[in-house]
A and B are shown apart, each in its own frame.
Chain A
Amino acid sequence: MADPAPSEGRRRTLKTLLGTGATALGAAIVYPIVAYLKPPEVTGEQVTSVLVGKVEDFAPGSGTLFRFGNKPGILLRFPNGSFKAFTATCTHLDCTVQYREDMGLIWCACHNGKYDLNGKNIEGPPPRPLDPFEVVVKGDEVHVTQT
C-alpha cells in the first residue's frame, strides 16, 4: 500500500482502453448484422418460377427472351393468344435462340439451327428439342415455371 496513485492511474487507463476495445468489438459485430439485415436488391434469383410480364406486353405472334435464373428463356405468344415457353439455349452449342416472325419458327443465329414452335429441332445441327417451361397466367401476369 505504498502509493495508490500510479495503480489508480493504470486502472483508469486500462479501463478506458478496454472500453474502447469493447466498443470497437461491438461495432465489428453490429456492423455485419446491420448490413446483413438490409434487404439486398433482388435480381431474379428465384429460379423455380419467374414473372415475365403482363399479358398485354406480349403481342400475339411474337417471341420474347427472358431470364430464368442464370439461363435465358423464350416466351412465345401465338395469334390465338396462348403462350408457350422454352429454354432459349440452343441444344447444339449453347447459343441463345430467337423467334423469327418471317420464318415462323425458333432460330439460332450461330449455325442456323431451327426449331418449330413446339421446340422440336427440325433443321440444322441441334441434336435435341428445346426444354419446355410451363406458362401460368395468373390474372394478367404471365409466370413461367419449371416443368
Chain B
Amino acid sequence: MKKLLPLLTALVMFILLPQFGAHAQTEDQCISCHASMDDKPSAAFRSDVHRSAGLSCADCHGGDRRSDDMEIAMNKNKGFVGVPKGNAIAETCGKCHDDEERMRKAGFKGETGQLKALRASAHSFGTKATDALIMQCTNCHGAHGVRRHDDPESPVSPLRVVGLCSSCHSNPDYMRRFNPALATDQLAKYRTSVHGMKNGAGDTRVATCADCHTGHSIRPAEETTSSVNAFNIPTTCGRCHSDADRMKPYGIPTTQLAEYKSSVHGKALLEKHDASAPSCNDCHGNHGAAPPNVESISNVCGTCHALNAELFRQSRHKVEFDRMGKPECETCHGNHGVQPATQAMFSFDRDGVCGKCHGPDRAPVGYKTALKMRSMLDSLVGTIAMAERRIDEAEQKGMEVDDIRFALRDANQARLQSRTAVHAFNLEEFSKVLDPGLRIATTSLSDANAANEEYVYRRVGLAVVTLIITLTIVLLFFFIRHIEKKQAAV
C-alpha cells in the first residue's frame, strides 16, 4: 500500500499537468508575447506574488489576455488602459487590496485596506479619493516584481526598507518640496541606534521604520492618531519590548512598559494626559534609540530636571557615584518605574534609598545627614498638613482664611524647592530652603488656630447674649404676672 501511493500520485500528475500548461498558454497571451520581446516588466512579473496568485498583466492593465493579436489584446474597447498614471496606480491596486472580502476569497490572510490607510497618511495630500497621493504603491513595492514584505528581495523587507524610506527622507532637496521643517537625519541617527546597528548587521527582527511608523498609516508625530505620537509611543515600543519571546535572543528585560505605566512619568502622560511628561523617546531618543549610559543619565534627566541635575553634578555624590560606577539619578530613583519622590526615600527601612550605602557603621556622616534631613522634611510636611487641616476646619465654620492660605503657598513652595535642594546633599544648603518654609507653615498654623478660636469666641458671645435675653424674658414674665395680679386685685 505504501509503495502504491507515490505511484498513484505520479499517475494523477501525468494526466493533469499537460492540461494545466495548455490552459495557461491558451489563456494568457500577454506574457507569452511580451516574453518573446524580452522586455523587463514581463521578466520581473515571473517572480511576482500576483502571478503565483493567478493574476495576469490584463488584471492591472486591462485588455484581452486570450488574444495573440495585438490589435485585439491591447484594444481600448476591450478595456486596455496601458500604463496607469498618478492615482490610477494606487486605485488599480486598491481595487483588490481595499476589498477585504475579495482578498479573503483569494486565500489572502494579511493586511487589507492599504489604499484607505495611505489616503489618510502623511503620504497623501488629503483623504478624498480625488486628492493626489505623494506616494503610489509602486514607489515602495515596485510594479512587476512585487514580493511579500518578508521576502528578502522585497524593497520593503526589514533589511531593505530603511534604505527605501531614506531614499527620499534623507534627501533634503526632495523633502523640502513637501515639508521644509522635517529633519532628514533619521537614517544617520538610526544607524547609531541599537536597532540600526543590529539591522545593519543583518538582524531582521529589530525595529525598522515601518515597525514604529506602520507601513501605510504613517502620520506626523504631533497627531494623536499617529503611532509615534507621545501618548502612543509607550504602546508602540511596548509591542516588541514587552514581548518576552521576541526579546529572548537579546537577553533584555521586558518589564519596562509595565514599570513605566506605574511611574510618575507614565501616570502624568497616560493618566493625566500631560504632554510635557516624557515618553520612551524623550530619554532614549527616537531614531537613535539606545539606553543612556552611566555618565549621561544626569544629562538626560537634567533636560527637564535641570536644577536637580545641576546641584547633583556639584555634589559629593557625583564624584563617589562615578568612582563606584553607579548610574547617577537611577541609583536612587530607578529608571522606568521612577516614583514620586517623598521623604520616605530618606528612611533606612525597605522604602529608603539612603540605606543602600549609608548606615550607622558605614559612611555614617551621610547616615546622620539623611536622618536630620528626614526629620526636617517630616516637620515641614507635617506642619503644612496640620495647617491645611486647621484652615479647612476654620473655613467650614465660615471663617476668613484666604490670607492664611495665601501665606501657606510659600511654605508649600519651600517644600517643593527642598525636594530639589536635597540634591546638593548638603545640610546647610538644605536648611536655607527648608527653614523659611517651616517658619511660614508654623505661622500659618497658629493663624489657623486663631481663626478656629474666633469661632469659639462667637459661640461664647452668643451664650452671653442668649443669657441676657432669657433673663429679660423671665423678668418680663414675672412683671406681667405681677401687674395682672394687681389688676385682678383692683
Give the size of the chain A interface in residues (CB under 8 angstroms): 32
Contacts of B293-345 to chain A: CB distance below 8 A: 304-307
Chain A 104-124 per-residue mask, 1 if CB under 8 angstroms from chain B, else 0? 000001111000000001001
Chain B 408-425 per-residue mask, 1 if CB under 8 angstroms from chain A, else 0? 011011001100100000
Q: Is A21's beta carbon under 8 Å from chain B?
A: yes
A73 to B272, CA, bound (A): 26
Please tell me if the beta carbons of A18 and B276 are within 8 angstroms of each other in the complex: no
A31 to B457, CA, bound (A): 15
Please tell me if the beta carbons of B482 and A24 are within 8 angstroms of each other in the complex: no
Please tell me if the beta carbons of A112 and B307 are within 8 angstroms of each other in the complex: yes
Q: Is A77's beta carbon under 8 Å from chain B?
A: no
- By a CB distance below 8 angstroms, the chain A residues around B465 are 28
Partner of B274 from the list A24, A25, A111, A127 (CB cut-off 8 Å) is A127
Of B13-21, B380-388, B470-478, the stretch lying at the interface with chain A is B470-478
Seen from chain A, the residues whose Cβ lies within 8 Å of a Cβ on chain B are 1, 7, 10-11, 14-15, 17-18, 21-22, 24-25, 28, 43, 67, 69-72, 93-96, 109-112, 121, 124-127
Please tell me if the beta carbons of A95 and B482 are within 8 angstroms of each other in the complex: no
- By a CB distance below 8 angstroms, the chain B residues around A7 are 482, 486
Please tell me if the beta carbons of A110 and B468 are within 8 angstroms of each other in the complex: no
- Tell me the minimal C-beta distance from B356 to chain A in angstroms: 25
Q: Would you list 20 pairs from A and B whose C-beta atoms are within 8 A, ordered by A residue?
A: A1-B489, A10-B482, A14-B479, A21-B471, A21-B475, A21-B476, A22-B472, A25-B468, A25-B472, A69-B402, A70-B403, A93-B416, A95-B413, A109-B413, A110-B413, A111-B420, A112-B307, A121-B276, A127-B274, A127-B276
- By a CB distance below 8 angstroms, the chain B residues around A11 are 482
Q: Is B50's beta carbon under 8 Å from chain A?
A: no
- By a CB distance below 8 angstroms, the chain A residues around B274 are 127
Please tell me if the beta carbons of A125 and B416 are within 8 angstroms of each other in the complex: no
- By a CB distance below 8 angstroms, the chain A residues around B402 are 69-70
Which applies to chain B's interface (DSSP): helix, strand, loop or mixed?
A: helix
- Tell me the minimal C-beta distance from A75 to chain B in angstroms: 18
Given contacts A14-B479, A17-B475, A127-B274, contact A24 B417 (CB under 8 A): no
- By a CB distance below 8 angstroms, the chain A residues around B275 are 127
Please tell me if the beta carbons of A110 and B417 are within 8 angstroms of each other in the complex: yes
- Tell me the minimal C-beta distance from A94 to chain B in angstroms: 7
Closest A residue to B465 using CB positions: A28
11 other contacts beyond A25-B469, A110-B417, with CB at 8 A cut-off?
A1-B489, A7-B482, A18-B475, A18-B476, A24-B468, A25-B468, A93-B416, A94-B409, A96-B410, A109-B307, A127-B276
- By a CB distance below 8 angstroms, the chain A residues around B306 are 112, 124
Given contacts A15-B479, A126-B276, A127-B275, contact A21 B472 (CB under 8 A): yes
Please tell me if the beta carbons of A18 and B472 are within 8 angstroms of each other in the complex: yes
Seen from chain B, the residues whose Cβ lies within 8 Å of a Cβ on chain A are 274-276, 304-307, 402-403, 405-406, 409-410, 412-413, 416-417, 420, 464-465, 468-469, 471-472, 475-476, 478-479, 482, 486, 489
Please tell me if the beta carbons of B413 and A96 are within 8 angstroms of each other in the complex: yes
A28 to B470, CA, bound (A): 13
A96 to B489, CA, bound (A): 81
Please tell me if the beta carbons of A111 and B307 are within 8 angstroms of each other in the complex: yes
A109 to B471, CA, bound (A): 62
- By a CB distance below 8 angstroms, the chain A residues around B469 are 25, 28
A111 to B465, CA, bound (A): 54
- By a CB distance below 8 angstroms, the chain B residues around A15 are 479
A10 to B412, CA, bound (A): 67
- Tell me the minimal C-beta distance from A48 to chain B in angstroms: 15
- By a CB distance below 8 angstroms, the chain A residues around B486 are 7
Please tell me if the beta carbons of A125 and B479 are within 8 angstroms of each other in the complex: no
A110 to B305, CA, bound (A): 10
Please tell me if the beta carbons of A43 and B403 are within 8 angstroms of each other in the complex: yes
Given contacts A1-B489, A14-B478, A124-B306, contact A28 B413 (CB under 8 A): no
A126 to B306, CA, bound (A): 13
Closest B residue to A91 using CB positions: B276
Residue among A93, A110, A127 having the largest count of chain B Cβ atoms under 10 Å: A110
- Tell me the minimal C-beta distance from A13 to chain B in angstroms: 10
Closest A residue to B419 using CB positions: A110
- Tell me the minimal C-beta distance from A1 to chain B in angstroms: 7
Please tell me if the beta carbons of B471 and A95 are within 8 angstroms of each other in the complex: no
- By a CB distance below 8 angstroms, the chain B residues around A95 are 413, 416-417
A140 to B390, CA, bound (A): 42
